[in-house]
Amino acid sequence: MAEVSTGSATGTGSTGERDRIVAPSADEIERAAEAALRPKRLDDFVGQRVVRDQLSLVLQAAIARGNPPDHVLLSGPPGLGKTTLAMIISGELESHMRLTSGPAIQHAGDLAAVLSSLEEGDVLFIDEIHRLARPAEELLYVAMEDFRVDVIVGKGAGASAIPLALPRFTVVGATTRSGLLPAPLRDRFGFTGHMDYYSPEELERVILRSSGLLGVHLEHAAAHEIAGRSRGTPRIANRLLRRVRDWAQVRGDGRLDLHAARSALEVYEVDPIGLDRLDRAVLTALCTRFGGGPVGLSTLAMTVGEEAETVETVAEPYLVREGLIGRTPRGRVATPAAWEHLGLTPPPPAPGSATWTPGPGPGSGTLLEP
């Protein structure tokens, strides 16, 4: 059987989400452009030191033993390198990779067809594995544990299951929502790698590497500037790099220097910490129209002319992650960092009003009632 395509893109939210230059997800066209920038070996994979170290051990041990490694689960937000790492695994093992995805498998039979076409040592990559249909999931448990698939022959009362032995293979599952994976499925992965957001220094290395592959010279100061605006996400960093390259070519002198980086990102309205127009509109409304809150989500959304869902799923996660907005039972509040970022002075707390005390983690804190 031919490779099954991955189907729809991961994590593509509303239309507003897909159109954003700082969207963590990518459409098919962008995914094609990304393919050229994917590191092929573990040594070229920037950052994620812990996952890389652990995975390297798993792979080296398997290679030394001459056996396929344990099944691997990669979890983390979109654009952090799960697909890239899956391909690296198959590359390091010098094995054939089969590609499918949760949404592409609607029936157990679809999965049975994929499984029965596997050969010894193959890597079966299942993207968005949390979206597998239930019956397929159950088939997968058995296949992963016992390397067997039960083929159902006949219908109704006369139906019987004929066990079909499978060669030893390795499932690499990727998910942006590991919490949605049923425990029995999660337990069948011998190794789970949790991908985390990248530091600006790591992103700098990602785009310096990418610029080499794109055949352009990126100055260090420009790399630093782009990295700082990329929201911890290599996909966004690579995207911003391409926009800076466009600017340098069309409006600049061809050099990818600090001036080009700043000018391009100004055109695309990505501010120094990676906020875009919508993020800033939300933050500004919260501070200037509602005195920093608390204000209800729907009121806030109406003020910026967006659906509540768009504000909640598209703008808020990063604002909360950056510690600019707090979510409280009484609504959204601006943190001191939000006022500072907008260059505004927070009003003195009105007598009897609640105050926001930032906590230790990003977006954490307490709303103190008077």
Ligand X SMILES: Nc1ncnc2c1ncn2[C@@H]1O[C@H](COP(=O)(O)OP(=O)(O)OP(=O)(O)O)[C@@H](O)[C@H]1O
Give the span between the Cα atoms of 356 and 333, in whole angstroms. 7
Pair of tokens at residue 341:
């970022």
235 is a site residue for ligand X (CB under 6 A): yes
Closest separation in Å from C-beta 29 to Mg ion: 15
Q: Is 84 in the site for ligand X (CB under 6 A)?
A: yes
Binding-site partner at residue 338 among Mg ion, ligand X, none, CB < 5 to 8 Å by type: none
Among 25, 83, 210, 233, binds Mg ion (CB under 5 A): 83
31-39, 94-102, 278-286, 290-298 -> range binding ligand X (CB under 6 A):
31-39
Token digits of residue 325: 């907005």
Residue 32 or 350: the one with the smaller Cβ distance to Mg ion is 32
- Find the Cα–Cα–Cα–Cα dihedral 24, 25, 28, 33, rounded to 10°: 20
Question: What are the percentages of helix, strand and coil residues in the chain, rounded to 5?
Answer: 45, 15, 40
Residue in 20, 23, 45, 75 binding ligand X, rule: CB under 6 A:
45
Size of the site for ligand X (CB under 6 A): 25
Q: Give 133's Cβ-side CA count (13 Å radius).
A: 12
| C-beta of 234 vs 252, nearer to ligand X | 234
State the nearest-atom distance from the C-beta of 82 to Mg ion, in Å: 5
70 has catalytic annotation: no
Please choose, out of 63-71, 74-82, 110-118, 282-290, the segment that lies near Mg ion by the rule CB under 5 A: 74-82
The yes or no reply on residue 39 touching ligand X (CB under 6 A) is: yes
Does 238 interact with ligand X (rule: CB under 6 A)?
Answer: yes
Tell me if residue 231 falls in helix, strand or coil.
coil
Any contact of residue 34 with ligand X (CB under 6 A)?
yes
Say whether residue 37 binds ligand X (CB under 6 A): yes
Considering the rule CB under 6 A, would residue 101 count as an interface residue with ligand X? no
**What DSSP letter does each residue of 44-71 carry, written as one string?**
G--S-HHHHHHHHHHHHHHHHHTSPPPP
- Dist CA 348 CA 331 (whole Å): 19
Of 82, 120, 93, the closest CA to residue 6 belongs to: 82
For position 292 contacting ligand X by CB under 6 A, the verdict is no
Tokens standing for 331? 């609504």
Q: Is 197 in the site for ligand X (CB under 6 A)?
A: no
Catalytic residue among 110, 122, 127, 276: 127
Which residues, 164 to 193, sit near ligand X by CB under 6 A?
174, 176
**Nearest-approach distance from CB 198 to ligand X, in angstroms:** 7
Kindly state whether residue 81 participates in binding ligand X, applying the rule CB under 6 A. yes
Q: What are phi and psi of 343, to 5 degrees?
A: 70, 30
**Alpha-carbon distance values, 276 to 22, 334, 363 (Å):** 7, 17, 18
Q: Among this protein's residues, is 235 annotated catalytic? A: yes
Return d(Cα 210, Cα 81) in angstroms, integer. Answer: 14
Please enumerate in sequence order all residues whose Cβ is within 8 A of that of 359, keeping only pairs 6 or more positions apart, or say none: 365, 366
47 contributes a contact to ligand X by CB under 6 A: yes
Asked if 234 is part of the footprint of ligand X (rule: CB under 6 A), the reply reads yes
Least CB distance to Mg ion at residue 8 (A): 12
Active-site entry in 82, 229, 327, 332: 82
Helix (H) or strand (E) holding 244: helix 234-250
**In the complex, least distance from residue 360 CB atom to ligand X, rounded to whole angstroms:** 28
127 noted as active-site residue = yes
- Least Å distance, CB 9 to Mg ion, is 8
* Three-class secondary structure assignment of 5-47: CCCCCCCCCCHHHHHCCCCCCCCHHHHHHHHCCCCCCHHHCCC
Catalytic residue among 6, 10, 38, 83: 83
Q: Which residues bind ligand X (CB under 6 A)?
A: 10-11, 25-26, 34, 37-39, 45-48, 78-84, 174, 176, 206, 234-235, 238
User: Which active-site residues does the annotation give?
Assistant: 82-83, 127, 176, 235
